[in-house]
Amino acid sequence: MLLAADVTTWATNYPIAAVLVGLVGLVSGAELLVRGAVWMALTLGMSRMAVGLTLVSIGTSLPELLVTLTAADDHADLAMGNVMGSNIANILLIVGVTATIRAIRLETKWLELGFMVALTSLLCLPFFGAMLQRWQAAIMLTVLIVFVGQLLARERRERIDKPEGSQRPTSTTRGWLIHALLLSGGFVTLAYSADWLVEGAAVVAENCGMSPNVIGLTVIAVGTSMPELATSAVAALRGQPEICIGNVIGSNIFNIGAVLGGAGLLKPFAFDPQFADLVITAGATLCLVLVLRVSKGVSRSLGAVMALTYAGFLTFKVLTDPAAAS
């Protein structure tokens, strides 16, 4: 991992303890991040959806970025599997569990949904050559930059068209200092906790003989998606569905645009293409778009189905892993 070796060595030596500490840290970090981000968003006049798509999703995508940049050197299959597995987990696991806790009801716009579909489509490019090339990564990163620009432009237009709400917090130096500390503390806690969780879980998985691709799609993907899960669950309990859905959509966008785009731009890498995983990633993305546009949210029963579907996906990947079978 990119974090200091002495910080993660204990996680390798005591993997079960690292998993438990990582889980506790992820929940705590998510609470700090949500509190700080929501206050800043409201103070600046941003919508909760916008802050979920930007600040929160960037923060919770840091573990994926750390893992992918590190794995691209010697474990390219793990790097690609991590991104696809995280996007699948974001949709089926995180939206599913969050909706099971509390039904999601909100209006989602085409801007964020369209860019999520567009970037997911760009995943096809490296698969046909079994390599993420620099020009492909540049396209992913460019699409991400365009998305952020369009999102900020939309927020400016809505602030002009819409009068300031009565619930907008008062901007004070003390308030900014406190919530900046909460936000930064949440980011740091999430990054370290995810690293401990991934290190511990990877040791357990490797001891069981799992292949790098399956480790990336399952153990690492779930581990690096834990910040999104913790953040979305906290947001759901606090009655903030915009943070939850914005976090998931934004994280999927950043996983492809920033994580794969950034890693491929710095160091192109070859990998073993698993087209079935690409189909599942695209299918889950399209299903989420359809549900959000048609149903205007996710019911608790549908959330339970999504979570169970993800559990079935994990079970299937582990049971059919040739490395484990051998």
163 vs 215, residue with greater confidence: 215
Letter string b/e over residues 54-92, b meaning 16 or more CB atoms within 10 A of that residue's CB = bbbbbbbbbbbbbbbbbbbeebbbbbbbbbbbbbbbbbb
pLDDT tier at 4, thresholds 50, 70, 90: very low
Domain positions in the chain are: 54-162+209-325
- Tell me the average pLDDT across 34-63: 77
Domain 54-162+209-325 fold is A middle domain of Talin 1 (1.20.1420)
DSSP per-residue codes, 38-55: HHHHHHHT--HHHHIIII
* Digit-coded pLDDT (tens) for 220-263: 777 777 777 887 888 888 888 888 888 899 889 998 998 899 88
CA 44 to CA 149: how far, in whole Å? 17
pLDDT tier at 269, thresholds 50, 70, 90: confident
**Amino acid of residue 54:** T
* Digit-coded pLDDT (tens) for 173-190: 899 999 999 988 988 887
Which residue's entry shows tokens 């889950």? 284
pLDDT tier at 71, thresholds 50, 70, 90: low
pLDDT tier at 65, thresholds 50, 70, 90: confident
Specify burial of residue 106 (Cβ count, 10 A radius: 0-12, 13-18, 19+).
Answer: middle
What mean pLDDT is reported for the chain? 82
Q: What percent of the chain has pLDDT over 90?
A: 27
